[in-house]
Amino acid sequence: MKNTKKIGGLRVWRRGDTGLFACAGGSPAPEDVRAAVSYWKGAGCRRAFGPVCARAADVGGGICVWRNGEEPELLGARGPGDDSALLEAGFAPAGEEYAFRFPLPDMPKRAGMEVRRGVTARDCAKVMGADVRQTRRALLALMPWLRGKYCFTARKDGPKGVLIALSRGKRLRILTLWAAEDFRNGAACVPLLRALIEAARANGIPYIDAARVPADNPHSLRLARALGGREIARYRLYSLELK
């Protein structure tokens, strides 16, 4: 990543007046955290936040604070991790994200939406309201884990939803399931999920891991549990006000 500095097992950078960091090994060392705080202060940062993703292919940020014994996700770090170095440096918990594992439920059919296999940067950017060039770079970074048979676009007079899943062997994880603003009633997401489940069954994949669900997103949490998702890991994010 551009403008990233490596400090021991941490990768640190800044975005505006906020310092960000990612943990290469899952649990930061006290001396690395202290050095990162000193770096951010010297760079004029007012706050620090993390651990966040350092690469588009990372599964998500946070330190694993609980897991049920199963490997949390495709490309996921094993845990639980140790957050004592962050707490000693003054970081405070700033939110949690849950990882879910799903069986392959039967999804109802929904008429009126065409689902096509594959995604394009332009369609993803239009659905998510993102920059096309940045979206294209992110997709290129994900190429080692992308398979066209596990990515789908829902269309109705243009793209209305996209689903991107990462795969390796028999592991499959939803990275993005996004619907355009006027189609967030299930009109796009249900047929997209149905297409992914059918592809997983056809290729002998027994379950799907979901993208992280923030604890403060009750709608997504209800949906995950309604689809039979089991919580398999919990990740915590941290923030620090720099003085």
Q: Show me where the domains of the chain are located.
A: 5-97+235-241, 114-206
Percent helix, percent strand, percent coil in the chain, to nearest 5: 30, 35, 40
Q: What is the pLDDT of residues 124-160, one digit of tens each?
A: 999 999 999 999 998 998 888 899 999 999 999 999 9
Q: What is the pLDDT of residues 157-208, one digit of tens each?
A: 999 999 999 998 888 989 888 999 888 878 898 899 999 999 999 999 999 9
Of 183, 232, 242, nearest to 38 by C-alpha is 242
Confidence label for 111 from pLDDT (cuts 50, 70 and 90): confident
**CATH for 114-206?**
3.40.630.30
**Those residues with Cβ within 8 angstroms of residue 193's Cβ, 6 or more apart along the chain or in another chain:** 107, 163, 177, 227
Query: The whole model's pTM is what?
Result: 0.78
Structure tokens at 94: 């700033």
φ, ψ (nearest 5 deg) of residue 143: -50, -40
Question: Which H or E run contains 12?
Answer: strand 10-15
Confidence label for 218 from pLDDT (cuts 50, 70 and 90): confident
